[in-house]
Amino acid sequence: MSRATTDACSLPLRSRLCDCASWKAVLAHRQRIEPLDLRAAFAAEPGRAARCTATGAEWTLDWSKQLMQPTTMALLLELARERQVPERFAAMLAGARLNWTEGRSVLHTALRANSSASITVDGRNVMRDVQHTLHRMTHFSDAVRSGAWIGATGKRIRNVVNIGIGGSDLGPAMAYQALQPWRSPELSCRFVSNVDGNDLSMALDGLDPEQTLFIVCSKTFTTQETMENAGSARAWLVSALGEAAVSRHFVAVSTNEAKVRAFGIDPSHMFGFWDWVGGRYSMDSAIGLSTMVAVGPDRFLELLAGFHAMDEHARTSPLESNLPVLMGMIGVWNASVLGLPALAVLPYEQLLARFPAYLQQLLMESNGKRVDDHGDAVAWQTCPVVFGEAGTNGQHAFYQMLHQGTTVVPIDFICFRTAAHPLGRHRLLLNANAIAQAQAFAFGQTSDEVRAQGTPEPLVPHRTFPGNRPSSFLWSDALTPSTLGALIALYEHSTFVQGIVWGINSFDQWGVELGKSLAVDVIKGLEGRTGSATHDSSTDALIRALRATAP
Ligand code: G6Q
């Protein structure tokens, strides 16, 4: 995206999408090009794959199998321009308060910016704070990895338990799995998030308290699940090693020093971040401490460099070859113009098995919104339902529906040319499956082709594949800390692009609040502290049924 000044945006109010000439042009275009047929599109344009392939930050995107005609993307990019996507992106990088419903800047890009950069929020250069925290994380990680940091009884730390939830869990848990080839064999990490005690019990199973370090990750340090888990973990440790051991076995990642201190963690063992880092955009902040301990500071810096490479690609590339813009506009086309309700993310890489879950939060918490900046209900579909599974497991589970079901589900395939493991033909077979699946989704198999195979007539409809199921194919040479960072930033920024086009705030999450606040009263009910019915009849009946002690 070209450089622009923050002045180009008048925050927070934007024009309504439905008033944009380019949006009307996109809708009119859609009417003209129905029905969309990928076999015909490929036959008519031999260079389609080359035209619809772009590269940046070690990633290549082939979007030729999207349901688009040769002129479609140009119209979508015109829409991106009219919505001021490049200007808004520049404003975000510069610290504008794009998260206007919470009055916050959106500066996760500062977490991986060059140390020499100057990014100012309220007159303070945040890069100094970022570098200071990175330095402290490095020092601490080195100490744990080398054995210089010892537990209360003098033993080395062998197990790290990350306690957090949502943005304070999904990123580190995903990255720990993705970066297994780089993790220290001397240390293992476990992740606890659910308030269900089974989660903590399973994580603690077999651990030696003397060799276990807990990292309590909570921006607010008030989150119910995390505080309950941290309290129980603390009790587990204290029962084995005594109260004095807490300071050697607990550290915190938070913005809330007072609460961290009250929990009994020395603030010198607290790693800070800032209100301009949203939870689901925080795995490259101190929330990534478990990642750094596992893979070491050098690999963590490579991860950050990968994020930054994609930030730079997004900032400097023309829209026509800008991966986050292309992916963002493909998502707008599929969800809001074609009305397709879901997105399947299919990493053909077992190390990315947790990536779909990570993306569910990133995309659905960011853009699962129904009102625009004006407070008006939007008249188009915003965020799709995101789901996925590592290939090839998904093929033997839900692909049947993707191929022949009544709902068309767009797909993102993610692949790597090489594997970190040395196992024979496994990678070749894996990638062959990914390529063939993309082919099958796009082109299907006509009933005439099925007949020509000698299929009995009654079976022909059952063995026919409609095709025209759109997909993008994202690939890189190898999964490394750097390509992982770039991949995450790619989805962060394509999510951003969509939010800007839709005119919604991608950075708040008010939709998670109601259930939390209602739970306060339900807890009282389950504890038997409310007498008469105060809820609807269903809620009251459920409280009576699930009360810990029968009334
Ligand atoms: C993410 C959300 C949310 C948050 C969790 C944990 O963008 O804000 O998922 O990360 O609710 O919050 P704490 O880190 O404050 O415990």
- Give the residue, by CA position, lying nearest to ligand 1 atom 16: 218
- Residue 496 scores a pLDDT above 90: yes
From 162, 174, 219, give the residue whose CB has the most ligand 1 atoms within 8 Å, as the site to mutate: 219
Residue 253 pLDDT class (50, 70, 90 cuts): very high
Contacts (Cβ under 8 Å, ≥6 apart) of 84? 4, 8, 9, 14, 500
Number of domains in the chain: 3
CB of 388 within 6 A of ligand 1: the answer is no
Residue 147 has pLDDT above 80, yes or no: yes
Pocket test for ligand 1, best of 162, 220, 488, 516 (most atoms within 8 A of CB): 220
Ligand 1 contact via 249 beta carbon (within 6 Å) = no
> 106, 163, 165: which to mutate for ligand 1, most atoms within 8 A of CB?
165
Residue 5: per-residue pLDDT:
36
Instruction: Tell whether ligand 1 has an atom less than 6 A from the beta carbon of residue 172.
Output: no
Residue 85 has phi, psi (to 5 degrees) of -60, -50
Domain match, 285 and 326 both = no
In this structure, is residue 489 part of a structural domain? yes
The CA 285 to ligand 1 mean position distance, Å, reads 13
User: Quick one: pLDDT band at residue 384, thresholds 50, 70, 90?
Assistant: very high
Q: Does the annotation count 403 as an active-site position?
A: no
- Mean pLDDT along residues 439-448: 98
- In ligand 1, which atom is closest to the CA atom of 165? 6
Atom of ligand 1 nearest to the CA of 287: 14
Which residue among 271, 280, 361, 505 is best mutated to probe the pocket of ligand 1, counting the most ligand atoms within 8 A of its Cβ? 280
Residue nearest to atom 8 of ligand 1 (CA): 279
- Is 82 within a domain? yes
- Residue with CA closest to ligand 1 atom 13: 218
**Long-range Cβ pairs for the range 371-379 (8 Å, 24+):** 371/504, 372/14, 372/16, 372/17, 372/502, 372/503, 372/504, 373/12, 373/13, 373/14, 373/100, 373/503, 373/504, 373/505, 374/13, 374/16, 374/503, 376/16, 378/17, 378/502, 378/503, 378/504, 379/18
- Judgement on whether residues 498 and 527 belong to the same structural domain of the protein: no
Say whether both 291 and 349 belong to one domain.
no
Does the beta carbon of 193 sit less than 6 angstroms from any atom of ligand 1? no
- Predicted TM-score (pTM) of this structure: 0.96
Average pLDDT over every residue of 215-239: 97
Give distance in angstroms: CA of 169 to centre of ligand 1. Answer: 9
- Is residue 526 one of the residues assigned to a domain? yes
Residue 166 CB–ligand 1 contact under 6 Å? yes
Q: Are residues 71 and 166 in the same domain?
A: no
Does the beta carbon of 108 sit less than 6 angstroms from any atom of ligand 1?
A: no
- Told to judge if 516 belongs to the known catalytic residues of this protein, a careful annotator would answer yes
pLDDT tens digits, 127-140: 999 999 999 999 99
Q: Ligand 1: distance of its center to the CA of 230 in Å? A: 15
DSSP assignment of 129-162: HHHHHHHHHHHHHHHHHHT-SB-TTSPBP-EEEE
Tens of pLDDT along 342-359? 999 999 999 999 999 999
Distance (angstroms) between ligand 1 centre and the Cα of 165 equals 7
pLDDT digits (tens, 9 = 90+) for 500-548: 999 999 999 999 999 999 999 999 999 988 755 579 999 999 999 999 7
In a domain, 103, yes or no: no
Which residue in the list 24, 135, 421, 516 is annotated as catalytic? 516
**CA 300 to ligand 1 centroid distance, Å:** 22
One domain for residues 341 and 457: yes
Strand order in the sheet with 342-347: 53-56, 59-62, 471-476, 411-416, 342-347, 385-388
Task: Label the pairing between strands 250-254 and 342-347.
Answer: unpaired
> Is the predicted pLDDT of residue 11 greater than 60, yes or no?
no
User: Where residue 270 falls among pLDDT bands split at 50, 70, 90?
Assistant: very high
Specify if 167 maps to a domain.
Answer: yes
List 396, 457, 462, 513, catalytic entry: 396
What is the pLDDT at residue 326? 99
For residue 278, the ligand 1 atom closest to its alpha carbon is 7
How many whole angstroms from 509 Cα to the centroid of ligand 1? 9
365 belongs to the catalytic site: yes
267 part of a folded domain = yes
Within this chain, do residues 339 and 479 fall inside the same structural domain, yes or no?
Answer: yes
Which residue in this structure is represented by tokens 């002045």? 7
- Is 329 contained in some domain? yes
CA of 535 to the centre of ligand 1 (A): 28
Q: Report how far apart, in Å, the C-alpha atoms of 265 and of each of 130, 208, 289, 476, 499 are.
A: 22, 20, 16, 42, 38
Looking at the structure, tell me whether residues 355 and 475 fall in a common domain: yes
Q: Domain check: are 281 and 323 in the same one?
A: no
The DSSP call for residue 8 is G
For ligand 1, the distance from its centroid to the CA atom of residue 213, given in whole angstroms, is 22
- Whether ligand 1 lies within 6 angstroms of the CB of 168 is answered as yes
> Cβ distance 305 to 482 under 8 Å?
yes
Task: Say yes or no: 516 and 421 in one domain.
Answer: no
Model pLDDT, residue 551: 52
Nearest CA to ligand 1 atom 11: 166
- pLDDT at position 133 is 97
- Answer yes or no: is the C-beta of 378 below 6 A from any ligand 1 atom: no
At residue 534, the pLDDT reads 76
CA atoms within 13 A on the CB side of 161: 29
Q: What is the DSSP letter of 371?
A: B
Which one of 87, 365, 389, 492 is the catalytic residue?
A: 365
Q: Are residues 370 and 390 in the same domain?
A: yes
Same-domain status, 483 and 397: yes
| 334: confidence class by pLDDT, cuts 50, 70, 90 | very high
Domain with 257, as residue range(s), is: 127-295
Domain CATH number, residue 366: 3.40.50.10490
Cβ–ligand 1 contact at 366 (below 6 Å): no
Does residue 312 lie within any of the structural domains?
no
Confidence of residue 6 (pLDDT cuts 50, 70, 90): very low
Q: How much distance in Å is there from the Cα of 217 to the middle of ligand 1?
A: 9
C-alpha 247 to ligand 1 mean position (Å): 25
Residues 86 and 143 in one domain: no
